[in-house]
């Protein structure tokens, strides 16, 4: 640890040491906004304890990224870059976390990781106009990083990986700032990988605050068995059971918390409120949860009514649910045509028109196209395991548990349609007709 250092007490990881320049970054207004952005969005409507925020999650990822960097032998310089990426990876998360993300991407053409680069470099506003008296003229975070010898562009590349992968590899292979990152390709896996700091923190943290017991992960064992082999982070054979535990936790948390059907309905309702409003969605990344909710209520009309319904837990009711095991290949293929945001909105409009109601009174939720068309969820489940002889096998080849989890549906359902109670029958008939169910 260099210079001034503070200990921050965290319910998940215990004592987290934060030194400079990370203390300075932690106290920035861009980071402080995350104290008012709930990690699980509107998940507290189903899991009342889920009031934790993106701020504490970011702190946890910073901590785990540092531990992983140490375990795999990164140099102090490279560890600083990785820790910075861990701390800043969610800095542009929109209000209620993933709830509003799809709308923002549709309007701006950027996801929260791409926006993070612009925020860190000061290429877009970092605060609302109301705070000009507090933050006007404040230099961007990139300057804080650069002043401490941390290349801001490499930090942003790590946050944006895999979109920035080619750029990163160009730098490593001889141009630009490659000399700042001797650790080459594997460092990104600490932030985006089969066993990364982000995933380990959110699984354990979300399980803790939801009260769900599925998210138990042996973080200490995983980190202590990490090794770099052929420029990739691997888990030694002795960590196989811990890697299996991570896969189990991830699979169960997705189906029981992240894609819980009522949680999804609340999310879709808030999206409806935003879509019906006149708000400048391009500015939403500057707001926190309260800002968004208050602006929607002040809008009046439909946006206000839906937002107030959400706040008072007057929720749309499930009209049709097709569970994964009851979905034929033919229906999966048909539904995949509507998985993209614009197509899904058109389907909602068509159902509403046929039912004779407003578009805001119909929500259609469909998993991503890749989920519908494939029973295998590869990627996060393909953890490389290194045996004592130096041979590498992916976890799914060694573990029947991991293999089974790979083919387990993350969602548990392939279609969900919901509407206010009074429109259920009309929406049911219209949906059945339009989708030939």
Q: Quick check: is 323 in a domain? A: no
Q: Identify whether 389 is part of a domain.
A: no
In a domain, 279, yes or no: no
In this prediction, residue 380 carries a pLDDT of 59
pLDDT tens sequence across 405-432? 877 767 788 999 999 999 999 999 999 9
Residues 252 and 409: beta-carbon distance below 8 Å = no
Looking at the structure of the chain, the number of domains it has is 1
Domain-located, residue 298 = no
Strand order in the sheet with 226-229: 226-229, 232-236, 384-386, 392-394
In this prediction the pTM is: 0.92
Distance CA 126, CA 92 (A): 10
d(CA 238, CA 232): 17
The pLDDT assigned to 171 comes to 42
Q: Return the H-helix or E-strand segment holding 113.
A: helix 112-121
Render pLDDT for 10-59 as a digit per residue (tens, 0 to 9).
999 999 999 999 999 999 999 999 999 999 999 999 999 999 999 999 99
Residue-averaged pLDDT of the chain: 90
Q: What is the pLDDT of residues 340-383, one digit of tens each?
A: 999 999 999 999 999 999 999 999 999 888 777 765 454 455 79
- What pLDDT is stored for residue 156 in this prediction? 95
Beta carbons within 8 Å of 357's beta carbon, 6+ residues apart: 419, 423, 426, 427
Question: Domain span at residue 68?
Answer: 5-258
pLDDT tens-digit readout, 90-99: 999 999 988 8
- 193-220 pLDDT, tens digit per residue, is 889 999 999 999 999 999 998 888 999 9
Q: Which residues have CB under 8 Å from 113's CB, separation 6+? A: 89, 92, 159, 160, 163
Triad 86, 268, 211: Cα angle to 5°: 55
Check: CB of residue 222 under 8 Å from CB of residue 239.
yes
In a domain, 200, yes or no: yes
CATH number of 239's domain: 1.10.3210.10
Would residue 241 count as lying in a domain? yes
Instruction: Tell me the average pLDDT across 389-393.
Output: 93
Question: pLDDT class for 73, splitting at 50, 70, 90?
Answer: very high
| Residue 3 banded pLDDT, cuts 50, 70, 90 | low
Angle in degrees, CA 142, 144, 149, rounded to 5: 90
Identify whether 93 is part of a domain. Answer: yes
C-alpha atoms less than 13 angstroms from C-alpha of 235 in its C-beta half-sphere: 29
Over 70: is that where the pLDDT of 165 sits? Answer: no
- Does the residue 15 lie in any domain? yes
């Amino acid at each position: 640890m260099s210079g001034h250092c503070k200990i921050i007490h965290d319910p998940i990881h215990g004592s987290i040491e934060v030194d400079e320049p990370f203390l300075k970054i932690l106290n920035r207004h861009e980071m402080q906004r995350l104290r008012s952005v709930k990690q699980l969005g509107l998940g507290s409507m189903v899991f009342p304890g889920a009031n934790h925020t993106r701020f504490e999650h970011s702190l946890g990822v910073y901590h785990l990224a540092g531990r992983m960097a140490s375990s795999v032998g990164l140099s102090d310089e490279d560890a600083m870059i990785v820790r910075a990426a861990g701390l800043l990876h969610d800095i542009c998360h929109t209000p209620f976390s993933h709830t509003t993300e799809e709308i923002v991407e549709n309007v701006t053409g950027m996801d929260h990781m791409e926006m993070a680069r612009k925020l860190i470099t000061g290429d877009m506003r970092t605060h609302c106009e109301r705070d000009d008296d507090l933050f006007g003229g404040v230099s961007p975070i990139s300057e804080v990083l650069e002043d401490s010898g941390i290349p801001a562009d490499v930090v942003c590349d790590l946050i944006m990986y895999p979109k920035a992968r080619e750029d990163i590899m160009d730098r490593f292979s001889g141009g630009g700032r490659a000399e700042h990152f001797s650790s080459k390709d594997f460092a990104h896996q600490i932030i985006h990988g089969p066993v990364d700091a982000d995933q380990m923190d959110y699984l354990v943290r979300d399980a803790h605050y939801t009260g769900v017991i599925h998210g138990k992960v042996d973080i200490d064992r995983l980190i202590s068995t990490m090794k770099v082999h052929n420029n990739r982070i691997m888990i030694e054979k002795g960590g196989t059971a811990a890697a299996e535990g991570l896969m189990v936790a991830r699979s169960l948390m997705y189906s029981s918390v992240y894609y819980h059907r009522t949680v999804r309905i609340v999310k879709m309702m808030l999206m409806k409120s935003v879509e019906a409003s006149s708000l400048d969605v391009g500015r939403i990344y500057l707001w926190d949860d309260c800002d968004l909710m208050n602006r929607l209520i002040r809008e009046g009309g439909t946006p206000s009514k839906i937002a107030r319904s959400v706040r008072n837990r007057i929720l749309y009711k499930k009209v049709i649910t097709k569970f994964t095991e009851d979905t034929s290949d033919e229906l999966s293929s048909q539904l995949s045509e509507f998985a993209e945001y614009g197509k899904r909105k058109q389907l909602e409009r068509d159902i509403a028109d046929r039912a004779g109601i407003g578009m805001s009174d119909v929500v259609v939720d469909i998993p991503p196209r890749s989920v519908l068309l494939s029973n295998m969820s590869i990627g996060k489940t393909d953890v490389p395991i290194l045996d004592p002889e130096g041979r590498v096998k992916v976890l799914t080849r060694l573990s029947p548990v991991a293999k089974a989890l790979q083919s387990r549906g993350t969602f548990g359902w392939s279609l969900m349609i919901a509407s206010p109670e009074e429109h259920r029958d009309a929406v049911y008939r219209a949906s059945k007709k339009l989708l030939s169910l």
